[in-house]
Copies of this chain bind each other. A is one copy, B any other.
Amino acid sequence: MTPPLSRFPVPALDHLPTDLARRFSEVADKSGFVPNIFRALAWRPVEWRAFFAYHDALMDKESPALSKADRELIVVVTSAANDCLYCVVAHGAIVRIRARDPFLADQVAVDWRKAPLSTAQRVMLEASLLLAMDPAAVGPEHLARLAEAGFSQDDVWDIGSISALFALSNRLAHWAAVPPNDEFYLLGRVRRE
């Protein structure tokens, strides 16, 4: 008994605009399946394009202080604070793969404060979580602390923007009740030799 992909219409895979169809094929070729969020947003192609353009600009990117795995950690921690199953499970899988660590995603999702993280990662998660949950409380001191922890101005912008983008994403997933694909639950749990 598979749950529906969304509370809203989900276009058939052969009825997608060309650019969406191409991206669906690429992701399916790479990971073996199309993530449900791709399908659930597709009935609104303009919003779909905006969302993934924003997403790719922030997530498909690395800097010396802010790796792709770090970016995914922000997603998992802020999404866990919002009880967003889709984002915790899907991005938890990406954390396991990118950080090559089968435990870290569950650790930060449940209690990031006791997780094995670097000081810079702690400062990063504290600031992004504050922005996620109590945005008016963010002051210049929080951005200063990120700079002191070694993040560049671009990194600081990205840290806040990733938290902000998943504030949007968590709410879309809750509103439409999009479940994670079954495949995500197990991805990266077994260390590959």
The verdict on A121 contacting chain B, using a C-beta distance below 8 Å, is no
Q: Which residues of B contact A88 (CB under 8 A)?
A: 106, 110
Contact segment of A29-37, A66-74, A158-166: A158-166
> With A47-B58, A171-B131, A172-B161 in contact, is A89–B106 under 8 Å at CB?
yes
Cα of A51 to Cα of B55 in the assembled complex, Å = 11
Q: Mark A130-144, 1 if CB is under 8 A from B, else 0.
A: 011001111110010
List the number of copies, as a whole number.
Answer: 6
Contacting pair A135 B54 (CB below 8 A):
no
Q: Which B residues lie within 8 Å of A50 (CB)?
A: 50-51, 53-54, 57
> Please, which residues of chain B bring their CB within 8 A of the CB of A19?
none
Complex CA–CA separation, A176 to B138 (angstroms): 10
Residues of chain B lying within 8 A (CB to CB) of residue A89: 106, 110
A82 touches B189 (CB 8 A): no
CA distance A164 to B178 in the complex (A): 15
**Also in contact, A170 and B113, with CB within 8 A (given A44-B57, A143-B7):** no
Contact B57 A53 (CB under 8 A): no
Chain B residues with Cβ under 8 A from A174's Cβ? 131, 135-136, 138
Minimal Cβ-Cβ distance residue in B for A157 = B8
**Chain A 141-193 interface residues, beta-carbon cutoff 8 Å to B:** 143, 153, 156-157, 160-161, 163-165, 167-172, 174-177, 179, 182, 185-186, 189-190
18 A-B contacts (beta carbon < 8 Å):
A7-B140, A8-B153, A47-B57, A50-B54, A50-B57, A53-B53, A83-B111, A83-B135, A84-B136, A85-B110, A102-B185, A102-B186, A103-B185, A109-B110, A157-B176, A167-B167, A168-B168, A189-B189
10 new A-B contacts, CB < 8 A, other than A50-B54, A132-B171, A157-B176, are: A44-B57, A47-B57, A83-B110, A85-B107, A85-B114, A103-B182, A109-B110, A138-B174, A164-B168, A167-B167
